[in-house]
Chain A
């Protein structure tokens, strides 16, 4: 235990120190080069460690995944099967249903978490109990996925009509006389998906709020005062000053939430496992892996990768715009 503690301390202190040393050292090396070359070489030293980690942990397995997606299922002697796995994906009902669900997730999750996060970040900025409000919204994210599953099983619990309800949601709607609904096991299309999205919104709004709040704090208060002095009402202050200044941050949060919605898996797996029309792409991929269908699972992963290309394009446009304003 002591040796582990020592190692941990060494790492916590040593790694940042080593990085600083590395940057300092490489700066000395860079200055040895002619000035025109300095500008060209220096960025790569700074990016080096990050690119190294990313290359090994994310890029290298992804290349393997892409190759695997063109191969058959057998793990020992994979054969080349070309586009068969992709053909399977695009003709499979479950897969197409999952794609549709992911689109719904993408829109709803992003709109609600970013929207609510923005509202809360801006509003709590003006109340005295701000830390409490932020902590309560942040709490769901601190709860592990396992516990979140338990909480929402409780919330959505269903007892037959006429029996006292044990689930919070059914109990609440019961007070106004509406019958109990099997939220997670609903034969009606879309109900269960919305129930799951509600869970994710509950968890991730805190995330959006924390980041947007950090940005809100960074807005120069003089700008807001200036607008108010000009006679602008609160809503106009928000629309004309706050919102534009938050643009880039909102882009970051939205992008992250879009990607999160594409990767959603834990909640769906734990609560419904894709039954009742709730299937999503990531769950489909995990399932294929558990069937030993690595070729198909890889194809699903590649579809995911392709799906974020529009997101990346949007981000490039954002930077170029940002750069031109600076």
Chain B
């Protein structure tokens, strides 16, 4: 994302736009097409989720017998039983708190660490910078499962298995490649002029980072926070291996959810209800952080 202008002359700011009549009709038709496409996509995307939502309110005996849309015709057999079974699952309150304990620090730490590294990759010159950066990006592909054994061994030696610290550190390590990638891309496309004028004003890198780069990167940080939180919130394997083996009490919500189903897969209808309950938190985060996706933030900086 960059705000540098392509090489075209800007018009005089006082030039009054005169939209000829002929241009307005296609615009109306264009608006209709626009709405059709957007709403159409929304409906298409929502259908699977709505299907699950409706199914979560149906009694289990009906789920395999008929499609979820039939629930809207009489006889109406809606029930809250699936939800109450999930909520009454023993230990679910604690698991929910565990999920929060795990996810919040595991979101904040990688962002903080990545921010400094991203700045270095963007605005500091040093030999091997590009190759090192590309290697960091390449680490995105390392499969999680290949890291479990050596890391668990190290954690066991240091005595932190079963502690939340273990997963905080692990999620930081696993989340850094993407965090650095995203932030570097955003930071690197800020206009050079901003940093030049900051340097003229006598700012060193530290000041430039806190006064220029960081505030302008708020949309990227918001996006990153959303995704990192989401991935940690929905993670099961990392928590299971680093915490579950030593202290099962500290397992997050994903473990409780997975245990709603028995080893043969029976009870899967409870997963529908559990999924919706679990989804509320990431959605809340998404809504809350949406307001940081505001337009004009760069434009304002350039003008000012």
- Among the stretches B72-80, B84-92, B123-131, the one at the interface with A is B123-131
A265 to B143, CA, bound (A): 10
A216 to B132, CA, bound (A): 28
A311 to B138, CA, bound (A): 8
Q: Which of A12, A144, A211 contacts B182 (CB 8 A)?
A: A211
A-B interface pairs (CB < 8 A), number: 342
Residue pair B143, A123 in contact (C-beta under 8 Å) = no
> A310 to nearest B CB, angstroms?
11
- Among the stretches A104-112, A129-137, A187-195, the one at the interface with B is A129-137
Task: Decide yes or no whether A197 CB sits under 8 A from chain B.
Answer: no
Task: Tell me the nearest residue of chain A to B41, going by C-beta.
Answer: A120
Which A residues are CB-close (under 8 A) to B69? 168, 171
Chain A 34-47: CB-based contact to B (< 8 A → 1; otherwise 0): 00000110111011
Task: Tell me the nearest residue of chain A to B110, going by C-beta.
Answer: A53
Task: Decide yes or no whether A114 CB sits under 8 A from chain B.
Answer: no
Residue pair A221, B145 in contact (C-beta under 8 Å) = no
- Among the stretches A83-91, A240-248, A271-279, the one at the interface with B is A240-248
Which A residues are CB-close (under 8 A) to B30? 234
Chain B 160-184: CB-based contact to A (< 8 A → 1; otherwise 0): 0000110011101110111011100
Chain B 45-65: CB-based contact to A (< 8 A → 1; otherwise 0): 111110110010000000011
Task: Decide yes or no whether A202 CB sits under 8 A from chain B.
Answer: yes
Which B residues are CB-close (under 8 A) to A222? 10, 299
Residue pair B126, A43 in contact (C-beta under 8 Å) = yes
Task: Tell me the nearest residue of chain B to A240, going by C-beta.
Answer: B6
Residue pair A27, B206 in contact (C-beta under 8 Å) = yes
Residue pair A144, B104 in contact (C-beta under 8 Å) = no
A289 to B55, CA, bound (A): 36
Which A residues are CB-close (under 8 A) to B113? 19, 49-50, 53
Contact residues, A151-207 vs B (CB, 8 A): 151-152, 154-155, 164-168, 171, 202, 205, 207
Chain A 234-254: CB-based contact to B (< 8 A → 1; otherwise 0): 100000110011111101100
A263 to B173, CA, bound (A): 17
Task: Give 20 CB contacts A-B under 8 Å.
Answer: A15-B108, A15-B109, A42-B120, A51-B117, A54-B176, A54-B177, A62-B147, A65-B146, A120-B38, A133-B38, A136-B46, A147-B279, A154-B55, A155-B51, A166-B65, A217-B219, A217-B295, A220-B302, A262-B141, A301-B146
Please report B residues at the A interface, Cβ cutoff 8 Å.
Answer: 1-6, 8, 10-11, 15, 17, 30, 34-35, 37-38, 41-42, 45-49, 51-52, 55, 64-69, 97, 101, 104-105, 108-109, 112-114, 116-117, 119-121, 124-126, 129-143, 145-147, 149-151, 154, 164-165, 168-170, 172-174, 176-178, 180-182, 185-186, 188-189, 192, 204-206, 209, 219-220, 222-223, 226-227, 230, 234, 236, 254, 257-258, 268, 271-272, 274-275, 278-279, 282-283, 286-287, 290, 293-299, 302
For the complex of A and B, list the 8 residue pairs with the smallest distance between their C-beta atoms, beginning with the closest. Answer: A57-B173, A147-B275, A215-B1, A50-B117, A46-B120, A61-B147, A217-B295, A144-B234
